[in-house]
Amino acid sequence: GENVEQHPSTLSVQEGDSAVIKCTYSDSASNYFPWYKQELGKRPQLIIDIRSNVGEKKDQRIAVTLNKTAKHFSLHITETQPEDSAVYFCAASSGGSNYKLTFGKGTLLTVNP
């Protein structure tokens, strides 16, 4: 089955700096890679996603890059703000008959004012 590794497990940055979180996946059939943000005590919510036919996607301060050959993808947050502090999860899924979404273990991002 699919295995998703996520690094780092914790990340602390100063407000205004950039943050990068990296994930690798094992199943070459995976073709959908979402990123979720979970604030303390809340449910995970999608912040950005990318499909395997695209190498990069950007939405304001957030961007995701995908390297299918190396089977890794990354989340980039620029100009970080205190409200970006949360746990971020990457995930991977395939569109095969046994569709399921496999998550990484999460990264706790702390943005210090």
Partner 1 sequence: NAGVTQTPKFRVLKTGQSMTLLCAQDMNHEYMYWYRQDPGMGLRLIHYSVGEGTTAKGEVPDGYNVSRLKKQNFLLGLESAAPSQTSVYFCASSGPSRVTEAFFGQGTRLTVV
Q: How far apart are CA 23 and CA 30, in angstroms?
A: 13
Q: Is 105 in the site for partner 1 (CB under 8 A)?
A: yes
Tokens in use for 72? 């890794």
Q: Which of 32, 57, 63, 71 binds partner 1 (CB under 8 A)?
A: 32
* Residues in 43-102 at the binding interface with partner 1, rule: CB under 8 A: 43-46, 49, 51, 89, 93, 95, 98-102
Q: How far apart are CA 86 and CA 5, in angstroms?
A: 18
Tokens in use for 20? 């990068």
- Report whether 22 contacts 74 (CB < 8 A): yes
Q: Which stretch binds partner 1 (CB under 8 A): 16-24, 30-38, 67-75, 77-85?
A: 30-38
Its sign, for the CA torsion 113, 7, 89, 69, is positive
Smallest gap from residue 77 Cβ to partner 1 (A): 19
Q: Is 18 in the site for partner 1 (CB under 8 A)?
A: no
Q: Which ranges constitute the DSSP H helices of 5-104?
A: none
Smallest gap from residue 102 Cβ to partner 1 (A): 7
- What residues make contact with partner 1 under the rule CB under 8 A? 1, 6, 9, 31-32, 34, 42-46, 49, 51, 89, 93, 95, 98-106
